[in-house]
Structure 1
Amino acid sequence: MTINRLEINNPKFQILFLSVIFFVLSGCAPGQLGLNNSGQYRNGMVVCAYPDAAQVGLDILKKGGNAVDAAVAVQFALAVTLPEAGNIGGGGFMVYRAGNGKTSTLDFREKGPGAANVNMYLDSAGNVIPNMSLYTHKASGVPGSVDGMVEAHRKYGKLKWADLIEPAIKLARNGFKITKHLASDLNHTAGQFRKLNPGKNYLVKEGEWKEGDLLIQEDLAKTFEQIRDKGRDGFYDGPVADLIVDEMKLGNGLITKADLKNYHAVWRDALVGKYKDYKIITMPPPSSGGIALLQLLKSVEPYPLKRWGFNQDSTMRLIVEAERRVYADRSKYLGDPDFYNVPVDSLLQPAYITSRMKSFNWDAATPSASIQPGSFVGYESDQTTHYSIVDREGNAVSVTTTLNDSFGSKIFVGGAGFLLNNEMDDFSSKPGVPNMYGLVGGKANSIQPGKRMLSSMTPTIVEKDGRLFMVVGTPGGSTIITSVFQTILNVIEFNQNMQQAVASKRFHSQWLPDEVTIEKDGVDSTTVGKLQSKGYKIVTTKSIGRVDAILKTKWGYYEGGADPRGDDTKMGF
């Protein structure tokens, strides 16, 4: 093609020519101003555990909503599309960073009912009664998710509350096509649903669920309408609260009208630490995740992980030894700060963390039996979901919510269509007796009325040079902490992009039991042999965690990482 002088001097041609040059240099295509050619976005991004919910969040961002607006909409959409973990009958944590760098965290963790007591799961001989804290009406703490979303919207939301709930109502009433993964989960749990919910038919059908089946939840839609129209009172008072209390009475549960009325989410100062040149903004107690994450990062910081390499034997040994010591501390010192004096500053003292690693040597594994919680002067005696969202102003939200086990207690609130949590199992039913995730605890996490149970949820935001760098979190019970930890290292130390970092194979150790769990095919046989020769017990598992994260590149684009272990989806614009 030739261009004559008249065309060059034509203003319209000049504008077109400069536009083409701009798009080439920016990596964008015309009509996609926010997208570059690597799947990175300029204006906003949502990464969450189900595609329909991700679309809801993206639509809110496109309508001018901010990251918190999108988070509220995603939370309610996940309560429809991800019944095993998305919820209004559970609770969680939110870490928020405004575009100007200001931070806050919201604790909407469940609470022990007023009638809860320290011995409620023990028999007359003082032994823990199997499954009582898991699959009975007494397993449920007072839900916090709805109040948490109301409070987050009150403080930071831009769009109308009703507009954020409406997409979830439509998904519940009109139905959505289920994925192969969700169909499998529903079929696997159908027997328990029927056993624990006589007279109810939620999430069950004649025959088996298949990919593409339409799942309609009319009672859940009606519950959402109450929340849409009445806000907090649509759940903690009125018809829905009556249904919750009726369900409790039906199964000898503990939650009362007073428990619901008295529940309130709590704003807490973010827990902030450093790893090399990065600022880590994470969740304080009653999350154990934030403290544990900062301890882990400081424990490995002096070592040359970048030189050793990803999932190599030296790297893995160091990380496992750090994890053992941190989880030992967790068992003794961490609980609800409103009830227990958690020694946060002491646990995060660099000298203390260094002292904890002194017993680590390269000759052999440190047996967990020889590791005890540390001591310092002044001390007085799996199924979850995560979503990460950023908006065009740079506001970022990292939210992890849970019912505890997959589908919580498996018990539905009759007439309301949602599942009850079994978060009471996250308390220490008896000192030294492990919960469903193998975690042990004591006085700091004992059962008390109105107390929030300890959690491993670790929603986290990372800064570099005063700017947003990463938004990250995951489900996974006790593996949440180590999955977030390893994902951060994958990016910072092993130069992985965001998708690689969340997809990379993971491993986990938590002090007790004394073993290292590795994802199948995640570590080569030579490395496994080296670890075993040093005394590490290796077990394999299908998968660990489902990390959803966002990285802000040096060019200012948002790059998502959606975990391939589930139906997790990333969307941006």
Structure 2
Amino acid sequence: MNSKYLLTLSICFLGLVACKTTQPNSQNTTLQKPAENQGFYQFTNEDPNASPFFAKKASVYGKNGMIIATHPVASQVGADILKQGGNAIDAAVSTQFALAVVHPAAGNIGGGGFLVYRDKNGQSYTLDYREKAPENASRDMYLDENKNIKAGQPSWLGHLASGTPGSVDGLEQAHKRFGKLSWKQVLQPAIDLAENGVKLTAREARGLNNVKADLLKYNPTKTYFMKTDTAKWKEGEILIQKDLAKTLRLIQEQGRKGFYEGETAKLLLAEMKRGGGIITQKDLDNYHAVWREAVIGNYKNLKVISMPPPSSGGIALLQLLKFVEPYPLQKWGWHSDSTTQVMIEAERRVYADRSKWLGDPDFAKVPQKELLDAEYLKKRWQDFQFAQATDSKIVKGGDIIGYESPETTHSSFVDKEGNAVSITTTLNGSYGSKVVVDGAGFLMNDEMDDFSIKPGVPNVYGLIGNEANAIAANKRMLSSMTPTIVEKDGKLMMVLGTPGGSTIITSVFQVFLNVAEHQMSMQQAVDALRFHHQWMPDRTTFEEGAFTEKTLIRMRERGYKLDSQKNTIGRMDCILVLPDGTYEGGADVRADDTAVGY
């Protein structure tokens, strides 16, 4: 090992980390810089047909605004609002209500979410409208007398799985504070879509067909989202939702009162009573979204603005970026063995910290500052070495003095003035708890599963929680949602976010690096194949084709468990501001996600 390399290692991690390594091997490939695609470094290897992309999709550009959402109709709704003189918040609110109609798997008024907003002057705001545990919820509500999880009563299905919804209150608060158009105007598109119907995409038709058995089980007397005969839904058929239109009109006329009080509230409470749910009128009355201080940090010359707890996304993303910042990722190459190794090891430690420390800050003392402290991160990295994978069984959440020991949808918005919104919202599982509120026509969430039902026991996404995320009345459950905005030199650069359960954080992490380090365009960064590691279980899953065979051999020789999967990871909807001020939209090719710019 030469002296120059020893010097490099000695100052790695900006002088903070004592790296115990052997010389890392670079991927045995040739890096080429195609002239036509904004400097993206694409690898070539033993397979001349290999591609780093899930599929290739053309970028969308706009000078006056950009909307990206998980459904083409919802994206168009947002774009139309901008064209009518609305701002990014107006477009975001209108799009979210539209998604409750056109994308019932995750768009919702019966769930919750997080919003990150950066105005044209660079001021940042975050809004937490995450669901809350009902007042009658208790720590051991899913456990039997022996403290084991009750058989036949999952925390992700049925009426008892639902937390108090936050979407309507949150969207109203965002609009009241920053909206430009009238509340009536931004609600009208969703009402029209529910009343007149929307054409099903192939993906939406398939989803409704797949969920039919669960809908019948938990809604035995209802026909919502089902055809009147036994035939299956087909692409292009019209889904009409009259009861949902009625509910949306009440919200349009009365604001939050049209959901948390009156007729809709009565229908929701009757549904809870019918199925053994525990949400009460008091829960609805007491629900209020919370404006919180953004988590802000830097990666080299970029400023990262993200969501604080009860989202784990912001803290986790900044930890990941700080761990890998000292390394020459661009020189090593996209998904080379060395680049992949430091990213996996960072993810391993960050998800362990997530499990131990993160929860609702109104209930648990979350050591946010300490988790991002340079000396703390240095200690977390001390046992990393290139020669061998770290064993997750010996990786625990870090020690901090003074402290006791996956269906979502994302949308990104920018208007002509440069106001930017990043929203991630969810019912938790696909189609939430599978319970539809009779007479109101909307699905309820199954967010109670995002608590630590029993500390140390994985939830449906395999995530392990601890005391900080134990169930308590009126507490918000921990989330992986990571709506994020990035600045460069004081100016807006990126709007990022994705659905994906536990893979949200790592997907945002990778797309950020794809642009910041590997010089991809935004659409390329979104299309690029992804991988995921979450501490436990101790394995890395990756989209088929994400690594060359040589990289897989080298990683496995060092003890890494890597498993290809046919399921996709994340569905990123992101915006990049180009040097001339043009917005580039990157809508994920993995689903119906659509960018609309003008």
The correspondence of residues 343-492 of structure 1 with structure 2, limited to 5 A, is 343-492=367-516
Q: 1:149 pairs with 150, 163, 171, which one? A: 171
Q: What displacement does 1:378 show?
A: 2.5
**Where does residue 185 of structure 1 map in the other structure?**
207
**Where does residue 124 of structure 1 map in the other structure?**
145
Give the Cα separation in 1 of the matches to 2:481 and 2:59: 31
Q: Secondary structure of 1:272's partner?
A: strand
Say whether the 8 Å CA contact 2:59–2:523 is kept in structure 1.
Answer: no
Give the Cα separation in 1 of the matches to 2:59 and 2:197: 33
Q: What displacement does 1:380 show?
A: 3.2
Q: Secondary structure of 1:402's partner?
A: strand
The correspondence of residues 204-223 of structure 1 with structure 2, limited to 5 A, is 204-205=226-227, 206=229, 207-223=231-247
Q: Which amino acid aligns with 1:198?
A: P
**Where does residue 82 of structure 1 map in the other structure?**
103
Give the Cα separation in 2 of the matches to 1:215 and 1:540: 36
**Where does residue 10 of structure 1 map in the other structure?**
none
**Where does residue 121 of structure 2 map in the other structure?**
100
Give the Cα separation in 1 of the matches to 2:266 and 2:160: 17
Q: 1:544 pairs with 569, 584, 590, which one? A: 569
1:164 aligns to 2:189 (yes or no) = no
Q: What displacement does 1:38 show?
A: 7.0
Q: Secondary structure of 2:426's partner?
A: strand
Q: 1:63 pairs with 84, 106, 118, which one? A: 84
| CA deviation vs aligned residue, 1:387-444 (integer Å, no higher than 9, x gap) | 0000011000000000000000111000100000000000001110000111111110
1:571 aligns to 2:596 (yes or no) = yes
1:497 aligns to 2:549 (yes or no) = no
Pick 1 or 2: higher relative contact order, CA cutoff 8 A, min separation 6: 2
Q: Which amino acid aligns with 2:583?
A: Y
**Where does residue 534 of structure 1 map in the other structure?**
558
**Where does residue 274 of structure 1 map in the other structure?**
298
Q: 1:327 pairs with 343, 351, 357, which one? A: 351
Q: 2:198 pairs with 170, 173, 176, which one? A: 176
1:233 aligns to 2:233 (yes or no) = no
| CA deviation vs aligned residue, 1:468-503 (integer Å, no higher than 9, x gap) | 000000000000000000000000000000000011
Q: 1:40 pairs with 38, 41, 61, which one? A: 61
Say whether the 8 Å CA contact 2:59–2:586 is kept in structure 1.
Answer: no
Say whether the 8 Å CA contact 2:60–2:595 is kept in structure 1.
Answer: no
| CA deviation vs aligned residue, 1:318-374 (integer Å, no higher than 9, x gap) | 100000000000111000001111000100001111221111111111010011111
Q: What displacement does 1:194 show?
A: 0.9
Give the Cα separation in 1 of the matches to 2:494 and 2:538: 32
Q: Secondary structure of 1:248's partner?
A: helix
Q: Secondary structure of 2:595's partner?
A: strand
Give the Cα separation in 2 of the matches to 1:514 and 1:96: 35
Give the Cα separation in 2 of the matches to 1:376 and 1:170: 53
| CA deviation vs aligned residue, 1:117-154 (integer Å, no higher than 9, x gap) | 00000012111125521112110000000000000001
Say whether the 8 Å CA contact 2:355–2:397 is kept in structure 1.
Answer: yes
Segments of structure 1 that go 5 or more residues without pairing to the other structure are: 1-36
Give the Cα separation in 2 of the matches to 1:445 and 1:141: 14
Q: Which amino acid aligns with 2:538?
A: D
Q: Which amino acid aligns with 1:571?
A: V
Q: Which amino acid aligns with 1:199?
A: T
Say whether the 8 Å CA contact 2:59–2:585 is kept in structure 1.
Answer: no
Q: Which amino acid aligns with 1:565?
A: R
Q: Which amino acid aligns with 1:239?
A: E
**Where does residue 586 of structure 2 map in the other structure?**
561
| CA deviation vs aligned residue, 1:523-573 (integer Å, no higher than 9, x gap) | 122211211111111112220000000000111010000001110000011
Give the Cα separation in 1 of the matches to 2:120 and 2:471: 39
1:53 aligns to 2:67 (yes or no) = no
Give the Cα separation in 2 of the matches to 1:39 and 1:217: 31
Q: Which amino acid aligns with 1:345?
A: K
The percentage of counterpart residues that share the same residue type is: 58
**Where does residue 31 of structure 1 map in the other structure?**
none
Q: Secondary structure of 1:449's partner?
A: coil
Give the Cα separation in 2 of the matches to 1:548 and 1:521: 22
Q: What displacement does 1:41 show?
A: 1.2
Q: Which amino acid aligns with 1:473?
A: G
Q: Which amino acid aligns with 1:155?
A: R
Q: What displacement does 1:377 show?
A: 2.2
Residues paired across the two proteins, number = 537
Q: Which amino acid aligns with 2:168?
A: V
TM-score (norm 1): 0.93
**Where does residue 26 of structure 2 map in the other structure?**
none
**Where does residue 316 of structure 1 map in the other structure?**
340
Q: What displacement does 1:40 show?
A: 2.0
| CA deviation vs aligned residue, 1:226-259 (integer Å, no higher than 9, x gap) | 0000001000000000000000000110000110
Give the Cα separation in 1 of the matches to 2:387 and 2:93: 50
Give the Cα separation in 2 of the matches to 1:252 and 1:424: 14
Say whether the 8 Å CA contact 2:60–2:596 is kept in structure 1.
Answer: no
Q: Which amino acid aligns with 2:323?
A: S
Q: Which amino acid aligns with 2:137?
A: A
Q: Secondary structure of 1:40's partner?
A: strand
Q: Which amino acid aligns with 1:517?
A: T
Q: Which amino acid aligns with 2:404?
A: E
Give the Cα separation in 2 of the matches to 1:498 and 1:319: 20
Give the Cα separation in 1 of the matches to 2:394 and 2:365: 26
Give the Cα separation in 2 of the matches to 1:399 and 1:160: 20
Segments of structure 2 that go 5 or more residues without pairing to the other structure are: 1-57
Q: Secondary structure of 2:555's partner?
A: helix
**Where does residue 519 of structure 1 map in the other structure?**
543
Q: Which amino acid aligns with 1:159?
A: L
1:289 aligns to 2:310 (yes or no) = no
RMSD: 1.0
| CA deviation vs aligned residue, 1:275-296 (integer Å, no higher than 9, x gap) | 0000000000000010000000
**Where does residue 26 of structure 1 map in the other structure?**
none
Give the Cα separation in 1 of the matches to 2:385 and 2:180: 54
CA gap of 1:54–1:38, structure 2 versus 1, over 3 A, is: closer
Q: Which amino acid aligns with 1:58?
A: A
Q: Which amino acid aligns with 2:82?
A: L
The correspondence of residues 254-265 of structure 1 with structure 2, limited to 5 A, is 254-265=278-289
